[in-house]
Amino acid sequence: MEGLLRQPEWRIIDQSAVGIHFQATQSFGTDDTLCASVGTGNAPATARTWVHHNTVVLGIQDTKLPFLQEGIDYLKQEGYQSIVRNSGGLAVVLDEGVLNISLIFPEAEKGIDINRGYDAMWDLIRRMFADFPQTIEAREIVGSYCPGSYDLSIGGKKFAGISQRRLKKGVAVQIYLCINGSGKARAELVKQFYQRAKKEEPTKFEYPQIVPEVMASLSELLGTHFTIGDVMLRLLNQLKSNSDYLVAGQLNEYELSLFPGYYQRVVERNEKIADR
């Protein structure tokens, strides 16, 4: 785990402040671009941080819900746009209280085992909040939205979920961290979405039965109000301690040339859903 976090150089692309001004589709196109760039040796290991205004990010399975449009219409009424991402999982909520972190690693000759990628992110988050006595666990929290074996929780309440994206010998390990605000309210939003998009219709895929009480924000769980900036500082300190060089940057020229193609793929995927 430490070996994966330890990199000769970490480049940080911080879009946590500007991210609310662009679409989440651009974020997923950016992570694909970074995978291709880091994986082919055109950039060092990269950590990208991003925040988006009221957006529900759907997984591929969510697009198969029998009454999907009714669910999307409900989200729109509540002030949330919806997009479909290109990595695994199910619906998650993004807003100004949710910090997303993507760690993009170059895949070694032997490759990075999928659990090793998850463990590296879990280890990073534990280190970031090591000054608190609470234990951060990684296990599925039944009743949460987008449940998975690497749900991060404290006292049985989930505050984060991890996913992975692999492309061109690059591995993007992505996490959403509910920093502040009400985790229960976010879960209630997704619960209402599923109730409208699925209703009582039988489906081949089993969608989560959401129990809002099993979700919370880090501020709620640790009894301390955190801002996005507070958590960014903790992240930067950890990356600095795990590298010889920590550099701030943006997309390089090679990445800028790749981005339109990867972004277009995300847009086309979403257009196909809209046309259904």
Catalytic residue among 24, 104, 146, 175: 146
**Neighbouring residues of 111: CB distance < 8 A, sequence distance ≥ 6:** none
| Backbone angle region of 155, left / alpha / beta, with phi > 0 → left and psi within -120 to 50 → alpha | left
Asked whether the beta carbons of 227 and 95 are under 8 A apart, the reply is: no
* Lookup result for tokens 């590298």: 243
- Is the torsion defined by CA of 83, 85, 90, 91 positive or negative? negative
Q: Is 178 annotated in the active site? A: no
* Lookup result for tokens 């692309």: 13
d(CA 184, CA 167): 34
Pairing mode of beta strands 137-138, 152-154: antiparallel
Measured in degrees and rounded to the nearest 5, phi and psi for residue 103 equal -105, 120
Q: Cite the active site residues.
A: 146
